[in-house]
Amino acid sequence: MDPITLIVTALAGGAALGAKDTASAAVKDAYAALKALVAKRFSGQPDAKLMLAKHEKAPGIWRAPLAAELGEAGADRDPDLVAAAQALMGLVDEAGARAGKYTIVVRGGQGVQVGDHNWQSNVFNTPAGD
């Protein structure tokens, strides 16, 4: 899973579970910590902060716009933000976390695709002149 998708997924999962009375204090705290880091990343961007609030109420509608704002804000390069999202997903989806579903490591990748139920077709050609 790429970092932006991880962050948006964690925010959606935290919002869904955090609203329930049965959510543990650990989930609520991890969600609050992640939201605070995202809000800090959006410092000075009132439209982005508004989008974060709207995503909390309707994650399906605001997923793509929030992901775009996070990408523009460089959230994928913020190790604290990614770690907070991973920690929350570890609480929200323990089985997925144990299976490494939310682990992000890419080195020298070409045609990399991360996520569930993906389809990809790659054609790697030799550059002209080689």
pLDDT > 90 in the chain, percent: 37
Flag the least confident range among 7-11, 15-19, 68-72, 125-129.
125-129
- The model's pLDDT over 29-44, given as tens digits with 9 standing for 90+, comes to 999 999 999 999 999 8
pLDDT at position 15: 85
- The model's pLDDT over 2-22, given as tens digits with 9 standing for 90+, comes to 899 999 999 998 888 766 666
Instruction: Residue 8: count other Cβ atoms within 10 Å of its Cβ.
Output: 23
What pLDDT band is residue 119 in, cutting at 50, 70 and 90? low
Q: Please, are residues 98 and 86 in contact by the beta-carbon 8 Å criterion?
A: no
Distance of CA 117 to the CA centre of its chain: 17
pLDDT at 103 over 60: no
Q: Does pTM surpass 0.75?
A: no
How buried is 55 (Cβ within 10 angstroms: 0-12 exposed, 13-18 middle, 19+ buried)? Answer: buried
